[in-house]
Amino acid sequence: MSDISTTAIPTRDFHGLQIPEAGTYAVDTSHSELTFSVRHMMVSKVRGRFGDVEGTVTIAEDPLQSSVEVTIAAASVDTGTPDRDAHLTSPDFFDVEAYPHITFRSTGISDVKGDTFTLAGDLTVKDVTRPVSFTVTYNGAGKNPWGQVVAGFEGRIEIDREDFGLTWNQALETGGVLVGKVATIDIAVEIGAAG
C-alpha cells in the first residue's frame, strides 16, 4: 500500500495550496456525504441525508474558472424513519414522481482566503431555481492505494426551504410550527479521476 505522505502526487501550487492538475473529476459517492438538519417542533432537530449523489468537478487551468455540477436523487432522502421519508418524497415536499432530481450548477468561485473560498451557483429543487453561495474548505489532495489522485472539500449552507417551494407545515397548539423554515446542509466530498 502506498504511503500518501511520501509518494509524490501530480499536483500544482495555487496560492500555497497543492491542488490537482486540470481535468474532470468525479464525486466519489462512497467517500462523500450530503446531510441536512431542520428544526422540529421549535425544540429539536431532524437530521437526514441523501444517499444517491452524483457529480463532477472540472478543475480548470485557472482554478478560479473551475466548475461543479451535482445531481441528487430526491427519492434517496433518508431520515431513519420510513414514514417521514415517505412524507418527504410526497407532493407535500419533494414530489419525487414529478421532480426526481435536485441539482446544483456552479456559476463562480471567489474570495479565496487560504484553504477556503466562496462557491456560487444555481440550486434547483422541484421547479424552482435560485442562486446560492457558501464557503467551501479545501482539505487537500493525496494518492489512494490504487494510484489515483483524490481531493477533498467540505462546506455548509443554510437555505430557506420555502424559497424552493417546500412550504408544507403545521401550526402547533403551543405556538410556532412543526417544521422549521431553515435547512442547514453539510457537504463532505471526495473527488477522483472521472471515468
Average the pLDDT over 131-154 and give the result.
Answer: 90
- In this prediction the pTM is 0.86
Grid cell 487537500 is found at 140
Taking only the tens place, the pLDDT of each residue in 5-36 is 434 557 888 888 889 899 999 999 999 999 99
How far is 69 from 14, CA to CA, in rounded Å? 22
User: What are the domain boundaries of the chain?
Assistant: 11-193
How far is 156 from 4, CA to CA, in rounded Å? 27
Buried b (16+ CB within 10 A) or exposed e, 116-127: ebebebebbbbe
Contacts of 53 (CB under 8 A, 6+ apart): 27, 29, 32, 34, 70, 71, 72, 73, 76
For residue 182, the tally of other CB atoms under 10 A from its CB is 12
Q: Does an H or E element contain 85, and which?
A: helix 82-89
Taking only the tens place, the pLDDT of each residue in 71-81 is 999 999 999 99
How far is 24 from 55, CA to CA, in rounded Å? 10
What is the CATH number that goes with domain 11-193? 2.40.128.110
For residue 192, the tally of other CB atoms under 10 A from its CB is 17
Which alpha helices (H) appear in 15-81, and where do they start and end? none
Taking only the tens place, the pLDDT of each residue in 122-141 is 999 999 999 999 999 999 99
Contacts of 163 (CB under 8 A, 6+ apart): 128, 130
Strand runs (DSSP E) across 51-164, as ranges?
A: 53-59, 67-73, 77-78, 101-113, 116-125, 128-143, 149-160
Least confident among 9-23, 85-99, 128-142, 176-190: 176-190
